[in-house]
Amino acid sequence: MVRKETEQDEISRLLDSYEDETLNQKMDAFAQSKKRRVNKHVSKEAEIPSFVREEKDSDTRIVLGAKDVNTNKEPENLSGTMAFDPNKVEEKKDTVSGTVVIDDNEIQSLLEDQKGPQLTRKKVSKKEGKEDSSIHLKKTSKEGKQKSSKQNGAKTVAVIVASVLGILLAILLIFGVVKLVQTFTSDEISSEQQEAYYQEIMDWIDGYDFYSEDEKQEIIQLESKYNKLTKEQKNQIDEALEAKTGSTFDELLAMAKSKEKENSKNNNTETAQKKAELKEKINDLKTDLSRARSDLEDAQEALDKATATYNKASNTLSSEQSVLDGYNSTIASYQAYQNTYNMKYTEYLNTDYSDTETREQIWKEVESAKASMDALQSDYNTAVSNLSTAQTKVDTAKNEASNAQSAMNQAQQEVDDAQNVVDELTNKISVYQKQLDELD
């Protein structure tokens, strides 16, 4: 009894690992072990429960026990994966999984054909008249398998070829790019170019004794050319420099770079100081500009007032002058009529009495002049009476207008001066700001 349980346990373990990657190895080992046990215990194989397979739509279904086959009913609600005696099975209700056992002949047949069934666990609704859980073994036909194998093989070959071509193309592309980059970045130059660089440096060395400090700093620009020379050319250059300066090219280059760095540091310090000075000047000028603009506004306001005063004085003068002119016109008209009257009256007196017609005509003229005088008499009297006052008002208005004119001119000058200050400060700020921007 112990041996049978051991075999069934092995069968269960085999089923549990049916989809494992090492399935073939386990099945081979199990087949060898099974052959040894079958030879010794053939008579006891009947103890292993039999199974019935139902085939439908190319699927094989394993049904437990002869009793279940006769009743055409599958075992219900079994759980786990283990081998056992079907006569001792106690149905367990309210479970969701079943137990399937494959006999030795079935397993042996699968091993000999070298084809293994595929396990599929499927949960089936009870309403459809099926178990809650079952295991299906799908048949695999040799023809389909061979056809699928050929298709898969063709696809694999195509994928491999495409992959190889893609890799080769990528390698060629990368190789071309690398070559292109090397072409542009290569430090290798022709011997003619090296000779030209060598001669250029030697010419620079020849005039070294007469160079200014800035010209000696040009060795920094010669560094890249020096680095591309041959070792022999470099040695000759170093010998020439040592003869003139006591230092090699690299030593002079190091000193030049150190000096350049120091000059740069000093320049940065000077630049910072200049920036600070310019910013301070700009801020001071902006303060002055603010005051100048305020003065300009005050001057413009004073000019507006002076202009208004002048305009008023001018209007007053114009009015007073008009009154005075009216008085003078009235007096002048009255005096003209009076002169006419006096002249005609004298003429009338001097005319011969015998010339009656002439005397009558002259008298009419005398009377006309007298009528005009009488008509202007009142205005004449008013004009004469107010003439002096009107003249005084005119003179006063002229004086006020003159003063207003002077005040307005002064205000205009102050406005012009304030505007000039604003313009000058604005220009200075612009100049300093430009200098500050150039230092950045």
pLDDT attached to residue 348: 87
Q: Between residues 384 and 98, which one has the greater pLDDT? A: 384
Kind of pairing between the strands at 133-138 and 118-123: antiparallel
Q: Is the pLDDT of residue 249 over 80?
A: yes
Mean pLDDT in the chain? 75
Cα separation, 86 vs 67, whole angstroms: 9
- Residue 230: pLDDT band with limits 50, 70, 90: very high
pLDDT attached to residue 431: 94
Neighbours of 300 (CB within 10 A): 16
Q: Is the pLDDT of residue 136 over 80?
A: no
pLDDT attached to residue 151: 61
Q: Between residues 357 and 159, which one has the greater pLDDT? A: 357
Contact 379/350 with Cβ under 8 angstroms? no
State which amino acid sits at residue 312.
K
**Helical pair 2-16 and 23-40, crossing angle rounded to 10 deg:** 160
Q: Between residues 240 and 135, which one has the greater pLDDT? A: 240
Percent of the chain with pLDDT over 70: 61
| Mean pLDDT confidence for 96-115 | 56
Residues linked to residue 51 through DSSP beta bridges, in sequence order: 64
Exposure of 180 by Cβ count < 10 A (0-12 exposed, 13-18 middle, 19+ buried)? Answer: exposed
Q: Which long-range contacts (CB under 8 A, 24 or more apart) does 293-300 make?
A: 293/422, 295/418, 295/421, 296/415, 296/418, 296/419, 296/421, 296/422, 298/418, 299/411, 299/414, 299/415, 299/417, 299/418, 300/415, 300/418
DSSP state for residue 120 in the 8-state scheme? E
Q: Is the pLDDT of residue 273 over 60?
A: yes
Residues linked to residue 64 through DSSP beta bridges, in sequence order: 51
pLDDT tens for each residue of 70-94 = 444 444 444 444 444 445 444 444 4
pLDDT tens for each residue of 29-70 = 667 766 676 565 544 444 444 444 444 444 444 444 444 444
Exposure of 397 by Cβ count < 10 A (0-12 exposed, 13-18 middle, 19+ buried)? Answer: buried
Contact 85/92 with Cβ under 8 angstroms? no
| Mean pLDDT confidence for 310-327 | 92
Contact 107/30 with Cβ under 8 angstroms? yes
Residue 218 in tokens: 């040009």
Residues linked to residue 122 through DSSP beta bridges, in sequence order: 134
Q: Between residues 145 and 277, which one has the greater pLDDT? A: 277
Q: Is the pLDDT of residue 9 over 90?
A: no
Nearest to 59 by CA among 117, 104, 115, 127: 117
Sign of the CA dihedral with 255 first, then 261, 263, and 269 last? negative
pLDDT attached to residue 107: 61
Q: Is the pLDDT of residue 433 over 90?
A: yes
